[in-house]
Structure 1
Amino acid sequence: MPARNSDTRFGTVTRVFHWLTALLILTAIPLGVIANQLPYDTAEALAIKAQLFSLHKTLGVAAFLLGLGRILWALVERHPAPLHPERKAELTLAGAVHWLLYISLVAVPLSGWVHHAAVTGFAPILWPFGQTLPFVPQSEAVGTAAGAAHWVFTKLLGLAILLHIAGALKHHLIDKDATLLRMLRGVPAPARPEPVRKGSVPVLVAFLLYAVGAGIAALLVPNGEAVAAGAPVEAEASGNWRVVEGTLGISVRQMGADVGGSFANWTADIRFDEAVVDGKHGNVSVTIDTASLTLGSVTKQALEPEFFDVATHPTAVFAADMLPGTAGYVAEGTLTLRGVEQPISLPFTLEITGDQARMLGEVTLDRRDFGMGASYGDEASVGFGVVVAVDLLAERVE
Structure 2
Amino acid sequence: MSANNTFSSYGSITKSFHWLTALLLISAVLLGLVANDLAHQIESPSFDGSPDVISRAVLLFSLHKTIGIAAFFTAVARIIWALSQPKPGLLHPENKPEALAAEVVHWLLYGAMVATPLTGWIHHAASTGFAPIWWPFGQDLPFVTKSESLSELFSMLHWMSSTTLQITFLLHVAGALKHVVIDRDSTLRRMLPNSGDLPLPPKQQHSALPAVLALVIWSAVLGSGVFLAQQAHDQNGQGADTAQVETAQAPTTGNWQVESGNLALTIQQMGSAVSGEFATWQAEITFDAPDSPGPAGQVAVEIDISSLSLGTVGDQAMGPDYFDTATYPTAQFDAQLEKTGTGYQAVGELRIRDKSQPLILPFTLDINGDSAKMHGQTTVNRLDFDIGKGTQDAGTLGFEVVLDISLTAQKTN
| TM-score, length basis structure 2 | 0.87
Superposition deviation, residue 323 in structure 1: 0.7
Q: Deviations over 1:338-394 (max 9, x none)?
A: 133322211112233455433221111122222222322443532322221113344
Please tell me the residue identity of whatever aligns with 1:236.
A
**2:208 matches 1:205:** no
2:235 is paired with a residue of what secondary structure?
coil
* Conservation of the 8 A alpha-carbon contact between 1:93 and 1:202: no
Query: Structure 2 matches for 1:189-228, cutoff 5 A?
Result: 189-198=198-207, 199=209, 200-221=212-233, 223-224=235-236, 225-227=238-240
Please tell me the residue identity of whatever aligns with 2:126.
A
Equivalent residue in structure 2 for 1:236, among 250, 253, 261: 250
1:379 is paired with a residue of what secondary structure?
coil
**2:367 matches 1:352:** yes
Q: Deviations over 1:268-318 (max 9, x none)?
A: 333333325993222222222211212233222111111011122222122
CA, structure 1 residues 367+154, in 2 after alignment: closer, same or farther (shift >3 Å)?
same
CA, structure 1 residues 259+206, in 2 after alignment: closer, same or farther (shift >3 Å)?
closer
Equivalent residue in structure 2 for 1:173, among 181, 206, 223: 181
Q: Deviations over 1:106-161 (max 9, x none)?
A: 22212221221122113111112241122222122222222222223221111111
Equivalent residue in structure 2 for 1:89, among 88, 92, 97: 97
* Conservation of the 8 A alpha-carbon contact between 1:287 and 1:318: yes
2:387 is paired with a residue of what secondary structure?
coil
Superposition deviation, residue 191 in structure 1: 1.9
CA, structure 1 residues 193+369, in 2 after alignment: closer, same or farther (shift >3 Å)?
same
Q: Deviations over 1:15-47 (max 9, x none)?
A: 222111111111111111222223553223322
Equivalent residue in structure 1 for 2:171, among 152, 158, 163: 163
Please tell me the residue identity of whatever aligns with 1:30.
L
**2:346 matches 1:337:** no
Distance 2:125 2:373 in 1: 31
Distance 1:192 1:97 in 2: 20
CA, structure 1 residues 216+339, in 2 after alignment: closer, same or farther (shift >3 Å)?
same
CA, structure 1 residues 8+335, in 2 after alignment: closer, same or farther (shift >3 Å)?
same
1:121 is paired with a residue of what secondary structure?
coil
1:274 is paired with a residue of what secondary structure?
coil
Q: Percent identity?
A: 43
Superposition deviation, residue 223 in structure 1: 1.7
Distance 2:182 2:379 in 1: 68
Query: Structure 2 matches for 1:8-87, cutoff 5 A?
Result: 8-38=8-38, 41-87=49-95
CA, structure 1 residues 325+20, in 2 after alignment: closer, same or farther (shift >3 Å)?
farther
In structure 2, the residue matched to 1:183 is 191
* Conservation of the 8 A alpha-carbon contact between 2:293 and 2:341: no
**Structure 2: unaligned runs, 5 residues or longer:** 43-48
| TM-score, length basis structure 1 | 0.90
**2:313 matches 1:301:** no
Superposition deviation, residue 177 in structure 1: 1.2
* Conservation of the 8 A alpha-carbon contact between 2:10 and 2:191: yes
* Conservation of the 8 A alpha-carbon contact between 2:12 and 2:193: no
CA, structure 1 residues 98+127, in 2 after alignment: closer, same or farther (shift >3 Å)?
same
Q: Deviations over 1:33-76 (max 9, x none)?
A: 22222355322332222122111111112222222222333334
Superposition deviation, residue 4 in structure 1: 2.4
Superposition deviation, residue 332 in structure 1: 1.2
Superposition deviation, residue 213 in structure 1: 4.4
2:290 is paired with a residue of what secondary structure?
strand
Superposition deviation, residue 165 in structure 1: 0.9
Runs of 4+ in 1 over 6 A off after TM superposition: none
CA, structure 1 residues 181+112, in 2 after alignment: closer, same or farther (shift >3 Å)?
same
CA, structure 1 residues 142+266, in 2 after alignment: closer, same or farther (shift >3 Å)?
farther
Higher mean displacement: 250-259 or 123-132: 250-259
Superposition deviation, residue 173 in structure 1: 1.8
Please tell me the residue identity of whatever aligns with 1:175.
D
Superposition deviation, residue 256 in structure 1: 3.4
Higher mean displacement: 210-219 or 343-352: 210-219
1:313 is paired with a residue of what secondary structure?
coil
CA, structure 1 residues 254+175, in 2 after alignment: closer, same or farther (shift >3 Å)?
same
Distance 1:255 1:7 in 2: 51
Superposition deviation, residue 164 in structure 1: 0.9
* Conservation of the 8 A alpha-carbon contact between 1:325 and 1:347: no
- Superposition RMSD in Å: 2.7
**2:160 matches 1:152:** yes
Distance 2:201 2:377 in 1: 75
Q: Deviations over 1:197-246 (max 9, x none)?
A: 31233443343344334434444556223436xx7751534344444443
Equivalent residue in structure 1 for 2:379, among 364, 377, 395: 364
Please tell me the residue identity of whatever aligns with 1:350.
L
In structure 1, the residue matched to 2:114 is 106
Higher mean displacement: 303-312 or 122-131: 122-131
Query: Structure 2 matches for 1:138-149, cutoff 5 A?
Result: 138-149=146-157
1:260 is paired with a residue of what secondary structure?
strand
Please tell me the residue identity of whatever aligns with 2:240.
V
